[in-house]
Amino acid sequence: MEENFLEKFREDVQKTIKELKIVLFLCKKLNQGSSFHQMEKTFNSLKERSKKIKFPPLDLDEKLKKIYSYIENSRFEFAKQLEEELKQKGFTLRGQLPVLYTKFYTLRFNFVKNTTEISMGGEVIKRCKINPKEVVKNITRIHKNLEKESINYKELGVKLYNLWERWEEKRVPIIEGLKEISMCIQGKQFWQNPTKERFKEYGRVKFGYDLYKIKKLNLDTIKNKKLTLVLSTFDATRDKNNYVWIPINEEGEGSCYSYITFE
């Protein structure tokens, strides 16, 4: 009877040692976690393994609570560091994880894929890793390019007015305005030899921002007629060929517009 007990005890000890080795490996892996998702995945494995260990001195349940708290605090510290670094660049961070906002931009954090999606008005501009310095680097670069004048704002109004004048109908589809300006900004070299390398990009986000700027700077009146933007219907927003999102302030608010006209 005693021999059976000792044999059973020995087997239990061996099983416990085996599980402890796996727990030790998972702890090391957790400490080297490359992403929040990887940390959570390892934590769940650790939690399942710990259920098989009945060894009171280790107090595993309490330690698991501390590990989970560490993961949650890591996310908080990430958001805090991101806020501080953006503040140094003149940006204010708003919102709660996994979606944050700064100026015109929405930041969506996918902790499963360890990616940050930077968008403006629903248009994805850039994807990068969940890393404060990398996120800040991309936002500052995007914002610098956005503020850079591809075309003089007064000239932009004149170009749109000329397009409206020769248009057969009273309202010009806003996408036609985008096409017009994207061609107007091309340099002499492009027209001499129109290749991809010589083409200057001018997309929906930039066009929407430029329309916001000429409104804000009161440069939207040409020959006593004021540039008017016509809001999109719900159906129109289902197709990107029918609208452009235009901000109304630097807090990320804006609307979709389908037509431009002068009144």
25 occurs within a structural domain: yes
Give pLDDT, residue 17: 72
Structural domain span for residue 126: 90-147
Instruction: Check: pTM over 0.85? Answer yes or no.
Output: no
- Residues 230, 233: Cα–Cα separation, whole Å: 9
| Sequence-ordered strand ranges (E) for 87-144 | 94-96, 99-102, 105-110, 115-120, 123-129
pLDDT in tens, 45-76: 767 766 666 555 445 566 666 666 777 778 88
Query: What is the spatial distance between Cα 119 and Cα 203, in angstroms, rounded to a whole number?
Result: 13
Within a domain: residue 83? no
Check whether residue 196 and residue 215 sit in a common domain: yes
In a domain, 221, yes or no: yes
What is the per-residue pLDDT across 195-213, written as a single tens digit (0 to 9) for each? 888 898 889 999 999 999 9
- Residues 202, 240, single domain; the answer is yes
What is the pLDDT at residue 195? Answer: 87
pLDDT tens digits for range 131-171: 999 999 999 999 999 988 888 899 999 999 999 999 988 89
From 100, 125, 147, the end of a domain falls on 147
Q: Are residues 174 and 129 in the same domain?
A: no
Residue 230 and residue 163 share a domain: yes
The model's pLDDT over 27-47, given as tens digits with 9 standing for 90+, comes to: 776 666 666 766 677 777 767
Neighbours of 98 (CB within 10 A): 15
Domain count, the chain: 3
Residues 61 and 111 in one domain: no
